[in-house]
């Protein structure tokens, strides 16, 4: 909880882990216009704010009042900057500024900023405080929650990273109203994912409220962000390090990550790759006779309704297979997929006919 002008602001929800660690998640509208609230969230003697130029220019006044002793560290805007080279440059700047272990890292931006800043916080002087302030829908409902931090490698996405929980996640849904359409829409892929893997009623609500969501009506934004965060927190709390149940959050990501890697992180946004991956992995589920065509059609229809892509760019099948072989979801040499059985129910499996997988990749 946060004390502000004598008032107590309780978190909207908490991600509580078995060992007592907790991430406090605050969800509201207009939070980033409240400089006192942002300052109260950070409470550190020194702050390193990691962002990019575009985001920093929008919120520079807020950042300048976080603490008198802060440094703004800017990285490039795009997936290609989620790299060891950028990570090393940020570490160099922290050292040059003589930051020590009482520093807090504030990740202000979308998924790339959050993932890289989280990895910096996890590793700088063996770990310093981390506050996530996600500014895109994808980051608010997915990457800022749950403690996955990483950078990419030329052989695959997120291959170098750590599990490291933020102590606070501050989500302001008002910022979603100013996002470019393409950036807003890509985040909806992760929102749809939660309905498929966990909550059939949420999926049905998304089917029935397409116009309200795409119009970015405030109540609709609050609902989809909160419900998505609730689902992710519930899943992560029971399996922080993805040994079992948390792996269901990877629906659409096995093929999606391979598509991102093979298009050199330039042709597809992450959410776009996930939406294609969800449709393709559902196709594999149908070929494996795990789900029926009606389920597959509902998933295709909702992806189309939310203006997300559902057909893969032309990528060589063997290259996709090689990329998936380097995926973190490979266990004892077995590539596993999250496959839907029905809306709200999925299965994690490494047992499938290789010919069916190849047929899906070439369909």
3-state SS assignment for residue 164: coil
pLDDT for 363 equals 83
3-state SS assignment for residue 172: strand
Q: The tokens of 254 are what?
A: 């096995």
Q: The tokens of 39 are what?
A: 């300052």
CB atoms within 10 A of CB 347: 15
pLDDT for 2 equals 66
Between helices 253-262 and 317-325, what is the axis angle to 10°? 110
The set of residues, in sequence order, having a beta carbon less than 8 Å from that of 223 and lying 6+ positions away, is 205
Confidence of residue 309 (pLDDT cuts 50, 70, 90): very high
Q: The tokens of 249 are what?
A: 């959050």
Cα separation, 106 vs 204, whole angstroms: 36
Cα separation, 99 vs 87, whole angstroms: 16
pLDDT for 34 equals 82
Q: Span 249-277, mean pLDDT?
A: 93
The set of residues, in sequence order, having a beta carbon less than 8 Å from that of 234 and lying 6+ positions away, is none
Q: Is the pLDDT of residue 69 over 90?
A: no
pTM for this model (two decimals): 0.93
The residues annotated as belonging to the active site are: 126, 148, 190, 232, 242, 246, 250, 253, 257, 270
123-138 pLDDT tens trace = 999 999 999 999 999 9
DSSP alpha helices (H): ranges in 110-209? 111-123, 137-138, 181-197, 200-208
DSSP alpha helices (H): ranges in 23-69? 35-42, 53-64
pLDDT for 62 equals 72
Q: Is the pLDDT of residue 80 over 80?
A: yes
Dihedral Cα 217, 35, 4, 148, nearest 10 deg: 70
Confidence of residue 65 (pLDDT cuts 50, 70, 90): low
The set of residues, in sequence order, having a beta carbon less than 8 Å from that of 323 and lying 6+ positions away, is 155, 156, 257, 258, 261, 262
Q: The tokens of 94 are what?
A: 């922290």
DSSP alpha helices (H): ranges in the chain? 35-42, 53-64, 84-96, 111-123, 137-138, 181-197, 200-208, 210-214, 218-238, 253-262, 270-287, 293-305, 317-325, 354-362
Q: Output 66 or 56, whichever has higher pLDDT.
A: 56
**At CA 138, angle to CA 265 and CA 83, rounded to 5?**
35
Q: Is 8 exposed, middle or buried (0-12, 13-18, 19+ CB in 10 A)?
A: exposed
22-45 pLDDT tens trace = 999 999 999 888 877 777 777 777
181-213 pLDDT tens trace = 999 999 999 999 999 999 999 999 999 999 999
325-358 pLDDT tens trace = 887 677 777 899 999 999 999 999 999 999 999 9
Q: Span 95-114, mean pLDDT?
A: 94
Q: Span 48-61, mean pLDDT?
A: 89
pLDDT for 3 equals 57
Q: Are 75 and 87 in contact (CB under 8 A)?
A: no
pLDDT for 305 equals 98
In this structure, what are the phi and psi dihedrals at residue 337, rounded to the nearest 5 degrees? -125, 150
289: left (phi over 0), alpha (psi -120 to 50) or beta: left
Confidence of residue 66 (pLDDT cuts 50, 70, 90): low
Confidence of residue 46 (pLDDT cuts 50, 70, 90): confident
Confidence of residue 285 (pLDDT cuts 50, 70, 90): very high
Q: What is the mean pLDDT of the chain?
A: 92
Cα separation, 310 vs 104, whole angstroms: 40
In terms of average pLDDT, the best of 6-10, 75-79, 343-347 is 343-347
How would you label 82-120 residue by residue, b for 16+ Cβ within 10 Å and e otherwise?
bbeebbeebeebbeeeebeeebbbbbbbbbbbbbbbbbb
Cα separation, 118 vs 139, whole angstroms: 12
Pairing of strands 148-153, 156-163: antiparallel
pLDDT for 227 equals 98
Q: Are 271 and 189 in contact (CB under 8 A)?
A: yes
In this prediction, what percent of the chain has a pLDDT beyond 90? 76
Q: Output 44 or 290, whichever has higher pLDDT.
A: 290
pLDDT for 5 equals 58
In this prediction, what percent of the chain has a pLDDT beyond 70? 96
Cα separation, 85 vs 288, whole angstroms: 42
Q: Span 153-166, mean pLDDT?
A: 91
> Taking the CA of residue 253 as centre, how many other CA atoms within 13 Å lie in the half-sphere pointing to its CB?
22
Q: Is the pLDDT of residue 151 over 80?
A: yes
Q: The tokens of 210 are what?
A: 């397409």
Out of 38-52, 173-187, 271-285, which region has the weakest mean confidence (pLDDT)? 38-52
Dihedral Cα 273, 348, 339, 110, nearest 10 deg: -20
């Amino acid at each position: 909880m946060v004390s502000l002008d004598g008032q107590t602001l309780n978190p909207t929800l908490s991600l509580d882990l078995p060992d007592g660690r907790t991430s406090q998640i605050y969800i509201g509208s207009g939070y980033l216009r409240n400089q006192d609230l942002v300052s109260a969230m950070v409470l550190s003697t020194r702050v390193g704010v990691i962002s990019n130029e575009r985001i920093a220019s929008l919120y520079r006044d807020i950042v300048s009042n976080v603490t008198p002793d802060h440094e703004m560290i800017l990285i490039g805007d795009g997936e290609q900057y989620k790299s060891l080279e950028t990570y090393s440059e940020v570490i160099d700047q922290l050292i040059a500024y003589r930051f020590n272990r009482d520093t807090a890292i504030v990740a202000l931006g979308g998924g790339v900023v959050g993932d890289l800043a989280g990895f910096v916080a996890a590793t700088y002087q063996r770990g310093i405080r981390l506050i996530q302030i996600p500014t895109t829908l994808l980051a608010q409902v997915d990457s800022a929650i749950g403690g996955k931090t990483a950078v990419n490698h030329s052989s695959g996405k997120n291959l170098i990273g750590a599990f490291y929980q933020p102590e606070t996640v501050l989500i302001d849904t008002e910022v979603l109203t100013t996002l470019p359409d393409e950036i807003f829409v890509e985040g909806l892929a992760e929102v749809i994912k939660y309905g498929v893997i966990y909550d059939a009623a949420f999926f049905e609500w998304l089917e029935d409220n397409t116009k309200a969501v795409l119009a970015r009506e405030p109540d609709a934004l609050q609902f989809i962000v909160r419900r998505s965060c609730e689902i992710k927190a519930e899943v992560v709390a029971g399996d922080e390090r993805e040994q079992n149940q948390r792996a269901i959050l990877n629906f659409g990501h096995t093929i999606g990550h391979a598509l991102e890697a093979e298009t050199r992180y330039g042709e597809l946004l992450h959410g776009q790759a996930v939406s294609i991956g969800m449709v393709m992995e559902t196709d594999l589920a149908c070929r494996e006779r795990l789900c029926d065509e009606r389920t597959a059609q509902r998933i295709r229809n909702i992806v189309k309704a939310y203006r997300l892509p559902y057909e893969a760019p032309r990528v060589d099948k063997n290259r996709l297979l090689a990329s998936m072989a380097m995926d973190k979801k490979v266990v004892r040499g077995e590539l596993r997929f999250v496959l839907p059985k029905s809306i709200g129910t999925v299965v994690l499996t490494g047992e499938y006919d290789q010919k069916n997988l190849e047929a899906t990749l070439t369909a």
